[in-house]
Amino acid sequence: MPLDERYHGDLQGLNKAETAERLGKQSMHQWRRSFSVRPPEGESLEDTMNRTLPFFNNVF
């Protein structure tokens, strides 16, 4: 199981301005502030938690 950072999918490597230009400010705001909304082809904070929490539960 990888412990990589949250994967932003199609938006990986873009800064905020580039992301807003590509998605629109409202869509960007929605996925950045949401727990369960995913960026295009990426993972939500919920996905990241579900992917990494088992590791920490087993180690600690």
- 6 assigned ligand-binding residue: no
- 16 assigned ligand-binding residue: yes
Selection from 1, 3, 2, 14 nearest residue 41 by Cα: 14
Buried b (16+ CB within 10 A) or exposed e, 27-41: ebeebeeeeeebbee
- 38 assigned ligand-binding residue: no
Binding residues: 16, 32-33
Annotated binding-site positions for substrate: 16, 32-33
